[in-house]
Amino acid sequence: MGNFILEMKGITKEFPGVKALDGVNLSVCKGEIHGLIGENGAGKSTLMNVLMGIYKAETGKILLNNEEIFINAPSDVIAKGIGMVPQELNLNPYISAAENIYLGNEIKKYGKINWKRTREEAEKVMKSIDFEVEPTEIVMRLSTARQQMIQLARVLATGAELLIFDEPTASLTRQETDILLKLMKKLQQDGKSIIFITHHLDELLAVTDAITVMRDGKVVFTDETKNVTESVLIENMAGKKVEKQTKVNRKLENNIILKIEGLARKNEFENVSFEVKKGEIFGIGGLVGSKRTELISTIFGILKKTSGEIFINGRKVEINNPFQAIQQGMGFVPEERRNHGIFPILSVRENMVISLYRQLFKGIKIQKEKAKKITNEYIEKIRIKTPSTETAIQSLSGGNQQKVILSRWMAKKSRIMFLDEPTRGIDVNAKNEIYSLIYELANQGMTIIIVSSEHEELLLLADRIMIMHEGKVKGIVEAADLEQQDILEIALRLGGDINE
């Protein structure tokens, strides 16, 4: 340890009613990969936003290569060799890879952009990270993983020596994650220093040299990775010993609430049939590309079906849009929480009761006090951490945003809930809270259908799991009879489907 590229000393940042950072110290050595973790809302992103010049700290100083630096805008930081690969990619989807890589950092000749050199230099940067794509390729046509490589190439094109990766694996498959982690090690060998923020403790322990844990706006733990265990990290993140969730084998009534027969959507999935019992937690697993999200989006009316039938309590129903699905007692928690689940600038109250507006109208006005009462009831019931009902939901942690979305459908008294990747981007402690809530809702009679890429999550929560591959059902199996590798084996099986 020593020979620091970055030192952040005594950093304090306050927002109305919240001390987001309280005297934070963070030191990163030259050439190291430094892990930064903490529960949602611990202050990690706020600290990085201070470093990147997005927020201005009230107190503290920042040293780069032992010299104090003064940051007034993100451009100041970029000029000093610090770059960030954000969790939410900020590429322009309608322009080429090369244009994105040099956006804001254009290569010019005689005052005009030199497109030939832009393409050549973009190719060189991409080659340096073993990434090949045509410089003229339009970014919206690329997968999430490849767009992330474009984002990284953009940071490297600025000459950055200190790279910040904020939840870079949140939307990647296991294989894509392994490629990215290897790339981080390569960048380290090339002399780069890296700050790596993630909720995946196995990834941190695999690639970092040191780890810092934040909790409630403070640094509570820092040590070299070789001295650290997963349980030590979890305990420091939560401030207490966290018991790992255990599988609960549940007895269910033989009361079919949802039945799908021969459902199909052209070029996506075909002949999907299954039944779900009242109060059952029904998992849908498989590899990325198996069309699980498309399936539940079609049942909920977000996408149009080509053929097939939907029955609720034995009665055939027509669902052509989400409004009809909601009328049938369905709720939906989408995978992309920030883009499709919340209304970022609206309050916690407005986000929670938005599905109840018809009931809350009296004359031409919404009964605000009644809405507030409902919101407070669920804040207390499922322990949502928020300064008030009127706080903008975008300022809440990911886990608390997810709880607000779940409360929306609980308040609506939904009987069937679709959860698409319900714990993506959520820390260990919040994950356990969401799991407990899912069990509680199911035990109260709500039928829950979960899509998850985390097979361990499905095995922990689900009573039965339907395994899909490339739009086809490969089997429906009791979760108690499965191991993680069984899900992959069933998904990739070439022969006929299996059923319980």
Residue 319 CB coordination number (10 Å):
20
Q: Does domain 4-238 have CATH number 3.40.50.280?
A: no
Q: Model-level pTM?
A: 0.67
Selection from 123-127, 169-173, 223-227 with the highest mean pLDDT: 223-227
Q: How is the chain split into domains, by residue range?
A: 4-238, 256-499
Q: Is the pLDDT of residue 1 over 80?
A: no
In which band, very low, low, confident or very high, does the pLDDT at 210 lie, cut at 50, 70 and 90?
A: very high
Which residues touch 368 (CB under 8 Å, ≥6 apart)? none
pLDDT digits (tens, 9 = 90+) for 99-133: 999 988 888 888 898 999 999 999 999 998 888 89
pLDDT digits (tens, 9 = 90+) for 415-438: 999 999 888 777 777 788 889 889
In which band, very low, low, confident or very high, does the pLDDT at 324 lie, cut at 50, 70 and 90?
A: very high
Residue % of the chain over a pLDDT of 70: 95
The architecture of the domain spanning 256-499 is 3-Layer(aba) Sandwich (3.40)
Cα–Cα distance for residue pair 414/332, rounded to 1 Å: 10
The Cα-based distances of 322 to 269, 303, 350, 355 in angstroms read 20, 9, 19, 11
Exposure string of 71-87, with b = 16+ CB inside 10 Å and e = fewer, is beebeebbebbbbbbbb
Q: Is the pLDDT of residue 486 over 90?
A: no
Question: Do the first three CATH levels of 4-238 and 256-499 match, i.e. the same topology?
Answer: yes
Tell me the mean pLDDT in the region 388-392: 88
Pairing state of beta strands 108-109 and 361-362? Answer: unpaired
The answer to whether the CB of 378 falls within 8 A of the CB of 372 is no
- Predicted confidence at residue 480, as pLDDT, reads 83
